[in-house]
Amino acid sequence: MELSEKVIECVPNFSEGCDSAIIDSIANAISQTKGCVLVDVDASSSTNRTVYTFFGTPESVVEGALNGALEASKHIDMKNHTGTHPRLGALDVCPFIPIKGVTMDDCVKCAQNFSEQLVKELDVPVYLYGHASKKEYRNTVPQIRSGQYENLPEKLKDEKWKPDYGPTKFVPFWGASIVGARDFLIAYNVNIMATKEQAHRIALNIRTTGRGPTQPGLLDKIQAVGWQEEKANVSQISVNVLDYNVTAVHVVFETCVEEAKKLKLAIAGSQVVGLVPLKVMLDAADYYMAKEDLFIVNEDQKLRLVIDRLGLNSLGQFNPQEKIIEYVVGSNKNGPLASMPLCDFVHSLGSRTPSPGGGSGSAAVAAIGAALSTMVGWMSFGKKKFEGLDSAMRTLIPPIYQVMVDLMPLVDADAKAFNMYMDALKLPKNTPEEKERHTEALQAGLTASINTPLKLIETVSRVWEPLTELAKLGNIQTKSDIQVGVRCLETGVWGAYYNILINLPDVKDEAYKEQVKTTSEEGLNMAKAKTEEISHILENREK
Find the largest Cα–Cα distance for the chain. 87
Instruction: Tell me the C-alpha distance between 90 and 45, whole Å.
Output: 15
CB 476 within 8 A of CB 535: no
Bond into 58 cis (ω within 30): no
Q: What is the dihedral of CA 212, 214, 218, 223, to 10 degrees?
A: 20
> Phi/psi at 9 (nearest 5 deg)?
-100, 140
Instruction: Tell me the C-alpha distance between 433 and 179, whole Å.
Output: 37
CB 537 within 8 A of CB 470: no
- H or E stretch including 170? none
262 Rama class: left (phi>0) / alpha (psi -120 to 50) / beta: alpha
Instruction: Tell me the C-alpha distance between 54 and 419, whole Å.
Output: 30
DSSP letters of 8-22?
A: EEE--EES--S-HHH
Q: Which residues is 180 bridged to in the sheet?
A: 95, 129
Burial class of residue 462, CB neighbours in 10 A (0-12, 13-18, 19+) = middle
Identity of the residue numbered 412:
D
CB 40 within 8 A of CB 275: yes
Instruction: Tell me the C-alpha distance between 420 and 426, whole Å.
Output: 10
CB 307 within 8 A of CB 318: yes
CB 129 within 8 A of CB 178: yes
Q: Return the SS3 of 160.
A: helix
Identity of the residue numbered 450:
I
Q: Return the SS3 of 4.
A: coil
Instruction: Tell me the C-alpha distance between 240 and 242, whole Å.
Output: 6
Q: Return the SS3 of 300.
A: helix
Residue closest to 479 by CA, chosen among 391, 404, 407, 379: 379
Q: Return the SS3 of 96.
A: strand
Q: CA 511 → CA 445, 453, 455, 505, 524, distances in Å?
A: 18, 18, 18, 13, 20
Q: Return the SS3 of 39.
A: strand
Residues designated as active site: 85, 414
Instruction: Tell me the C-alpha distance between 450 and 417, whole Å.
Output: 9
